[in-house]
Amino acid sequence: MTCPEPTAPATVPQIPPDARDVMVADDISRALRRIGHEIIERNKGAADLVVLGIPSRGVPLAERLAAAISQVEGIDVPVGQLDVTLYRDDLRRQPTRAAGRTDIPAGGIDDKVVVLVDDVLYSGRTIRAALDALAELGRPRAVRLAVLVDRGHRELPIRADHVGKNLPTSREERVHVRLAEVDGADAVRISGGERR
Amino acid sequence: MTRHLISSADLTRHDVESILATAESMHDVQRREVKKVPTLRGRTVINFFFEDSTRTRSSFEIAGKWMSADTINLSAKGSSTSKGESLRDTAMTVDAMAVDALVIRHNASGAARQVSQWVRCSVINAGDGTHEHPTQALLDAYTLRSRMGRLDGKHVVIVGDLTHSRVFRSNVITLKTLGARVTVVAPPTLMPAGVTAWSETDGFATSWDLDAVIDGDDAVDAMMMLRVQRERMSGGYFPTAREYTVGYGLTRERLERLVRRNPDVLVMHPGPMNRGLEIAAEVADAPQSVVLDQVSAGVAVRMAVLYHLLAGESAEQLPEGAQA
């Protein structure tokens, strides 16, 4: 038996040189701060919030978002990660990847408001898998979705509650999210397809 | 992509590390209240055990069930094998039912490889004669790694009935794959023929003297005690059980010497244990013993193996630009 190479930072495809910047580091931190404020406003505070990142790049985003909320509200927001590999519906169509870790904060998710965090919202299938994974771990009072980039082309009736940037794309284009914690520097870039 | 797991030598370092990483997340599932993930829904796994087994068979069954596969257990007794059906016919019959994986334990060395050439489904070797037991080596590696991190340069000593041990064969391969240093110890009568040539090509040490290894220059990080397989022996390998214990058993006195050299030494045993023969009862229950960790790792590692073999059937590539 053989296993495909992991999607570790070192093996992430190089961003083609013709890629265009969509967000730079300042844009990303401003977007996260705004999303933090939106969450606090909608939730009327930070009580009962649990922020869960979806690996790999949702995890550092979740940590930054939780830190932003904590800073405004002055309380520690529990943060964790939710691996959805085992719940994906496309496992049969792609090379098997190693499943990641799920790490739920000590207080659990029962009766909490869970904010799922991912880098790019595309087909919506990852989020569907995340909702299934969440249901096995407890019963949150509400689940909300925050994403850095919404690039459209949904295949399921799923939408984000909080979006860093709406980015109209064609399916031929590729969105690259790079984060300091994983890749050394922050950037959102787009490559491929026709220039618009 | 090979669909089978027959030998530990089939696995590259990257494969082993992928399986162990996946096993960690499977271990998380094992600790949850609802121990079930839908990953292998609609897949069927047959556990075909021609030999007795408690932990391997039950852990494969649990692993399949927790991944939502349908698992069916067959044993030689109660199947058509007892009516004289050949292994080939039995394997092809099961395969014709369109199952996805056949987990096989057989008393003949090479049985799993042979069966894999007759069937379309994935074959997982759960122990073939005195040849190999790859998932045992993986769960041992998982147990060691969860206690001591990376195995590069660690010194693992495997002691006991090497001649009849498939656990030893698979473990040497997997431990070397992960960069550990291995010493194998057995009385001359239980040291397999040809081990010298193998130890030279694969770079492990052999010894007839357990005390010399314990007190040697190279401190021991883990002691893996193998079961003395009375059912495989027609006698003559050593005079008495008492004499075996004196020369090769892990007694309390030997454990104390190991701990004095290395306070973090681990004691392993693949089970079932002959307490008082190859391992003293108090050593088996000592804080250094990770025997029950091994059993617990067994389910997680077998879930990971089933996942890697069965979850992604086609090797179709992820379309370019595909993102969540």
Tell me the per-residue pLDDT of B22-45, one tens digit each, with 9 for 90 and over: 999 999 888 888 899 999 999 999
Q: Distance from B206 to chain A by nearest Cα, in Å?
A: 30
Query: What integer pLDDT is reported at residue A193 of this predicted model?
Result: 74
| pLDDT digits 0-9 by tens, B98-108 | 999 999 999 99
User: For residue B2, what is the nearest residue in chain A, using CA coordinates?
Assistant: A1
**Set of chain A residues whose Cβ sits within 8 Å of the Cβ of B24:** 101
Q: Distance from B258 to chain A by nearest Cα, in Å?
A: 35
Residue type, B69: A
d(CA B262, CA B288): 11
Domain span holding position B231: 134-295
Question: What CATH number corresponds to the domain at position B272?
Answer: 3.40.50.1370
d(CA B308, CA B100): 13
Q: Flag whether residue B19 sits within 8 Å of chain A, measured between CB atoms.
A: yes
B152 plus B55 within the same structural domain: no
* Size of the A and B interface in Cβ pairs below 8 Å: 107
Per-domain boundaries in chain A: 26-173
| Cβ–Cβ below 8 Å for A3 and B19 | yes
User: Within a domain: residue B303?
Assistant: yes
**Set of chain B residues whose Cβ sits within 8 Å of the Cβ of A121:** 324
B11 pLDDT exceeds 80?
yes
Q: Distance from A71 to chain B by nearest Cα, in Å?
A: 30
Q: What is the mean pLDDT of residues B180-187?
A: 96
For residue A101, give the nearest of B14, B28, B38 by CB distance.
B28
- Tokens matching residue A52: 């869960």
| Cβ–Cβ below 8 Å for A91 and B311 | yes
B179 plus B284 within the same structural domain: yes
For residue A172, give the nearest of B37, B321, B323 by CB distance.
B321
SS3 category, A50: strand
Domain with residues A26-173, CATH architecture = 3-Layer(aba) Sandwich (3.40)
Query: What integer pLDDT is reported at residue A94 of this predicted model?
Result: 73
For residue B15, give the nearest of A2, A94, A126 by CB distance.
A2
B169 plus B31 within the same structural domain: no
In chain B the first and final C-alpha atoms are separated, in Å, by 25
Q: Distance from A156 to chain B by nearest Cα, in Å?
A: 12
Query: What integer pLDDT is reported at residue A9 of this predicted model?
Result: 44
* Contact predicate A133/A102, CB 8 Å: yes
- Tokens matching residue B13: 């370092």
d(CA B83, CA A98): 43
Predicted ipTM > 0.90: no
Q: Flag whether residue B272 sits within 8 Å of chain A, measured between CB atoms.
A: no
User: For residue B308, what is the nearest residue in chain A, using CA coordinates?
Assistant: A96
Q: Distance from B322 to chain A by nearest Cα, in Å?
A: 8
Residues of A with CB under 8 A from a CB of B: 1-3, 5-6, 54, 83, 85-87, 91-96, 98-102, 118, 120-127, 132, 136-137, 151, 171-175, 192
> Does B136 show up as a binding residue in the annotation?
yes
B226 plus B216 within the same structural domain: yes
The number of distinct structural domains making up chain B is 2
User: Within a domain: residue B318?
Assistant: no
B103 plus B122 within the same structural domain: yes
Q: Which of B24, B36, B323 to mutate to test the interface with A (most CBs of A within 10 A)?
A: B323
Active site residues of B: 55-56, 83, 105, 133
B290 plus B198 within the same structural domain: yes
Element (H, E) at A116: strand A113-121
Beta-strand relationship, B155-159 and A49-53: unpaired
Torsion of Cα atoms, B26 then B31 then B32 then B38, to 10°: 20
d(CA B53, CA B90): 20
Q: What is the mean pLDDT of residues B134-139?
A: 97
B122 plus B85 within the same structural domain: yes
| pLDDT digits 0-9 by tens, B200-217 | 998 999 999 999 999 999
B208 plus B276 within the same structural domain: yes
| Cβ–Cβ below 8 Å for B37 and A86 | yes
Q: What average pLDDT does the structure give for chain B?
A: 91
> Does B239 show up as a binding residue in the annotation?
no
Query: What integer pLDDT is reported at residue A4 of this predicted model?
Result: 61
For residue B2, give the nearest of A1, A125, A174 by CB distance.
A1
For residue A99, give the nearest of B10, B307, B315 by CB distance.
B307
**CA-CA distances (angstroms) from residue B222 to A98, B147, B278, B282?**
27, 10, 15, 17
| Cβ–Cβ below 8 Å for B12 and A86 | no
* Contact predicate B307/B26, CB 8 Å: yes
pLDDT band at B312 (very low <50, low <70, confident <90, very high): confident
Element (H, E) at A189: strand A187-191
User: Within a domain: residue B161?
Assistant: yes
d(CA B103, CA B114): 13
Tens-level pLDDT at each residue, chain A (196 residues): 666 654 444 456 678 888 899 999 999 999 999 999 999 999 999 999 999 999 989 999 999 999 999 999 999 999 999 999 999 988 877 767 788 889 999 999 999 999 999 999 999 999 999 999 999 899 999 999 999 999 999 999 999 999 999 999 999 999 999 999 999 999 999 998 765 4
**Set of chain A residues whose Cβ sits within 8 Å of the Cβ of B307:** 86, 96, 99
Query: What integer pLDDT is reported at residue A194 of this predicted model?
Result: 63
Q: Where are the alpha helices (DSSP H) in chain A?
A: 25-43, 58-73, 125-137, 180-183
User: Within a domain: residue B315?
Assistant: no
> Does B57 show up as a binding residue in the annotation?
no
